[in-house]
Structure 1
Amino acid sequence: MSVLLVSAVAPPIIADQSDRAVVNAPLTLLTAPIDGEVGSLSKQIRNAVEPGDSLARISNARVDESALMALEQKTSDERAKLEATKQKKESDRAYVNALDSEISSQTETLRTQFQSEIVALRAKVAESDSLSGAKKALVDRQSTLVARNVASMDMLNPTKAQYSAALHNADAERAKLNQKIAQLDALQKGIYVGDDLVAIGILVQKRRDISLDATRMQIEEKELSASLRDHQSLVDKERQRLAILADADVTASTPGTILTMGVTPGRRVNAGDAVASLVDCDKRFVAAIFSYRQSQSMKVGTRVHIDNADFKSGIVEAILPKTTDKVDERYAVPFPQTERRELYAIITPDERDSEVVNSEPVATSSETTPCTVGQWVTVTKDKALIPSMSVTWHRAEKLIASWNADKGPAPGDSKKSTLSAGIAALIAEFRSAASAAQPAVP
């Protein structure tokens, strides 16, 4: 009996069977995207979800809107500056148009005036040339008379003086004519020089200054428009951010089944708090512990039988020497703790196995968790020869309990007879397990 008890609790070394196996599945943790209060829950534990399905809605009435108010104030200031700049630009352009009209009118008036003065000066020049020609002829005639001693020099000298004066007068009139012609040419070329052009020159300078100011207003308008667009974009983005922070749905990103719900309606949560967890039942597996001595026989591809699960067979997909806490976080339940010189056999359900096994009920089976995640199962290699002592002991214990319940205690039975009966039943169980493990002989 002592040997049996020791073998039952000792680590299996060469057993082809293990009851240190648990059903596991990949875990996806859903967290709260914002701070707020949980509203209604649209899903419950064990409900299947698809990507995009909403599990809960979170509302936050205490969103800080100070940044939005500051941005809106800046946007309002930029818009007011832009409107003032547009009005100043339009005013400058209207003033420039008025100056252009005034300059054009005065230019046309001066052009007409200069043309009239040029005509008059040309007449005066012609008159002066004619007068100087007459005086020259008179001087020549009197000079001939003086040369013949018919007339005296007293008569010739005044005539020469008059002739010289006529020449100077003709030159003066010609100079005035040239000046007016030059002023007319300058006026037509936009060069405003001279006393007659001072007024129009002042208007042209003022027009140039106002035009430059209008150009500056146009440049400033473009800068303010770009700045206003940037501020408005920031306001829109801030409003979108606040809308997201005010109401948000907790949605599933992957398909799965809800394993846990960590919140209730009305509960206050912070961003990042766990709301629910999902398990992917399509990727469930069994993590079973075997001895290192079984690494050759439990290689990848080995078929096994599984008891106490809703699938009766599986295939070894991987062999892991150990695991870590970081790896455990990605699954619904932690991997069972291994002892020295033990390993994990990762077993996936056999796709060809579509039947559901009515195994012995387990207290924490599928009644509380989806797809039997977290349920302890027994894994037996196909054509197993050496059963696990702990499994055999457990079965024998249940057999003895059922045998005692059926027979009932006899009045004269002693503890020794009860123990003998239990040992006999245990030996029979061992023999039945060994015979079941032997391959059939044709």
Structure 2
Amino acid sequence: MKTDLLPTERFPHTAAAPSRELAPARKSPLAIVPRLAGYGLLGFIAWLLLSTLLEPWLSNRATRAVLNAPAMLITTPISGTVSELHAQIGQSIEPGQTIAVIKNNTVARDSLTTLLTQRLDLQSRLDDLDHRIQADRRMLEYVNHQYDQYQNANVSQLKNTYASLQAQQDAASAKLEELDTKYQRAMTLQRDGAVSAATVSAARAEADAARNEADALDKSADGMGASIAAAQRGIYVASGQSSNDQLSQLSQRRADLQSSITGEQAQLDALNKQMSDLNNLVTHEQDRVQTLSDYAVKAFGNGAAQDIVAPVGTQVTAGATLVRASDCSKTDVVAVFPARMAGRLNVGTRLRVQIEPSGRSHDAHISQILPTANEALQNGYSAPFPYAEDGSVYALAQWDTQDGANAGMPPCTPGRSVTASLR
């Protein structure tokens, strides 16, 4: 019968093994790391579940919010080609600033051609009338010269005749004085009985004849003086003399020329007035054609260019958008709130908006609440509205007046995400 041996007996060489192999093993410090990692993962999953499921029910923040501004579309009223573009993306735009120039080579010029033809015809009439006036003036100058020569000669002739009459008057006066003296002496001698009555009568007859001759000369002299005065004033009485007839003809010719020049000058003034009005029409039509040929499209409000729709060289039609800009003066906030917060949202509800994560908050208030934002509404803004889940509510908010100066820290950044929450 075989007896069992002790281990020391079966393996004698192990009898001297150290006693530490029989003691319990010591644990390593790194053995706890997997356990801690597991706890951390479980904690993260728990936090994720809590934040996903519970925080939306406890938070008063909007799920999404962006800065937005009304869109300002700069369009062209005419068709043509964009030849110049003076706007760049992000550039500020001011009212009256030239944004683009539209070149149109198909502008109708019929009215301008008609006006230019009328002006050429009117200018020809003006030139012809001016030449006639100049010719009549030269003729009038010649007639005046001839008239002055004839008048001077006639007046000189009349003055010579008048001087001769005056000499005859002096002789007749002396003769009359002598005969009157003779008659008085004859009457004295008759009273003394020295001469007969026949002698006195003869003396008287001679004195009366001399007196009649003197009176006739006086009348002739007076008439000649009046003729000289009339001739000096250019007045002549037909007398059958060639000089008077020539002067009358020259005077009539001069009057006719003066009347003709006056009438022609009146016509010239009327045509000049017509030409002035026609020139104004031509200028306005040329400006219209030039404006439509190189039409300058100008901005009508303040803002900033966001998109260049029609660059240089683009063929555009009337009403096409050239530049899409933002009205920076009306920057506001578009926020999307979950359906559970719809009951807390009303027009006028105060919001706290934070643009920069580390910046200060700004005050705003809801101006409009929308269950949906259709495409037509969004086209009126510079940036599309943020995505909203079913049942979410859009809230359009405006900056408070007292906070407006500092609200738009980036005043023209449509689409910039911000944080919005109820106050």
TM-score scaled by length of structure 1: 0.61
- How far residue 69 of structure 1 moved from its aligned partner, in angstroms, is 0.8
Instruction: Between 215-224 and 146-155, report the one with greater CA deviation.
Output: 146-155
- Answer yes or no: is 1:346 the counterpart of 2:397: yes
Matched, 1:70 2:121: no
Q: 1:242 aligns with which of 252, 270, 289?
A: 289
**Cα distance change on mapping 1:332 and 1:113 into 2, 3 Å:** same
CA distance in 1, matches of 2:84, 2:393: 47
- Mapped pair 1:224 → 2:259: no
Name the aligned partner's letter for residue 381 of structure 2.
Y
Aligned length: 351
Q: Match for 1:248: what amino acid?
A: Y
2:165 to 121, 124, 135: 121
CA drift at 1:198: 5.7
- What residue in structure 2 maps to residue 294 of structure 1? 344
Q: Distance in 2 between matches of 1:149 and 1:298?
A: 154
* Structure-to-structure mapping, 1:154-173, within 5 angstroms: 160-173=204-217
The structure 1 residue matched to 2:250, chosen from 173, 178, 203, is: 203
Residue 381 of structure 1 is matched in structure 2 by 421
Q: What displacement does 1:237 show?
A: 2.6
Question: For 2:104 and 2:248, how far apart are their aligned partners in 1?
Answer: 70
Which residue matches 2:19? none
Q: Aligned-pair distance for 1:68?
A: 0.4
Closer/same/farther in 2, CA of residues 146 and 372 from structure 1, 3 Å limit: closer
Distance in 2, matches of 1:350 and 1:184, equals 99
Task: Please tell me the residue identity of whatever aligns with 2:169.
Answer: V
Quick check: 1:14–1:293 contact (8 Å CA) kept in 2?
A: no
User: 1: distance between equivalents of 2:420 and 2:188?
Assistant: 162
Mapped partners of 1:133, 1:264: distance in 2: 117
Aligned to 1:19: 63
Aligned pair partner of 2:93 in 51, 66, 81: 51
Cα distance in structure 2, aligned partners of 1:238 and 1:311? 61
SS of residue paired to 2:215: helix
Cα-to-partner distance string for 1:327-355 (whole Å, 9 max, x where unaligned): 76642257689999967252779989999
Cα distance 1:180–1:269, how it changes in 2: closer, same or farther (>3 A)?
A: same
Q: Is the contact made by 2:66 and 2:414 (CA closer than 8 Å) also made in structure 1? A: no
SS of equivalent residue, structure 1 residue 63: coil
2:104 matched to 1:60? Answer: yes
Give the residue type in structure 1 aligned to 2:257. Answer: I
Distance 1:85 1:289, change over 3 A: same
Q: Which moved more, 1:346-355 or 1:275-284?
A: 346-355
Distance 1:201 1:283, change over 3 A: same
For 1:34 and 1:340, the matched residues in 2 are separated by 45
Contact 1:313 1:350 in 2 (8 A): no
How far apart are the structure 1 equivalents of 2:184 and 2:312?
A: 134
Is the counterpart of residue 256 in structure 1 residue 256 in structure 2?
no
Match of 1:429 in 2: none
- Change over 3 Å in CA distance of 1:80–1:153 after alignment to 2: same
The one-letter amino acid paired with 2:158 is F
After TM superposition, give the deviation of residue 222 of structure 1 in Å: 3.8
- TM, length-normalised to structure 2: 0.63
The sequence identity of aligned pairs, in percent, is 21
Q: Secondary structure of the equivalent of 2:126?
A: helix
Q: 1:317–1:354: structure 2 CA closer, same or farther, 3 Å change rule? A: closer
Q: Output one character per residue of 1:355-413: Cα deviation in whole Å (capped at 9) or x when no partner.
A: 9xxxxxxxxxxxxxx9573x8x6855389xxxxxxxxxxxxxxxxxxxxxxxxxxxxxx
Alpha-carbon deviation of 1:136?
A: 4.2
SS at match of 2:62: strand
1:79 counterpart letter in structure 2: Q
CA distance in 1, matches of 2:255, 2:331: 84
| Secondary structure in 2 matching 1:321 | strand
Distance in 2 separating the partners of 1:127 and 1:63: 97
Take 1:311 and 1:245, find their aligned partners in 2: how far apart are those partners? 52
Q: Which runs of 5+ in 1 are unaligned?
A: 1-7, 356-369, 384-442
Secondary structure of 1:214's aligned partner:
helix
Structure of higher CA gyration radius: 2
1:85 aligned partner: 129
Deviation for aligned residue 1:55: 6.8
Alignment CA distance shift 1:104-1:282 (3 Å): closer
Measure, in 2, the Cα distance between the counterparts of 1:297 and 1:229. 63
CA apart distance, 1:214? 2.8
What residue identity is the alignment partner of 1:258? Q
SS of residue paired to 1:17: coil
Unaligned regions of 5+ residues in structure 2, if any?
Answer: 1-51
The aligned runs of 1:167-186 (5 Å cut-off) are 167-186=211-230
AA matched with 2:395: Y
How many Å separate the matches in 2 of 1:122 and 1:63?
A: 88
| Deviates most, 223-232 or 108-117 | 223-232
Shift of 1:72: 0.9
CA RMSD across the alignment: 4.9
Matches within 5 A, 1:376-415: 379=419, 381=421
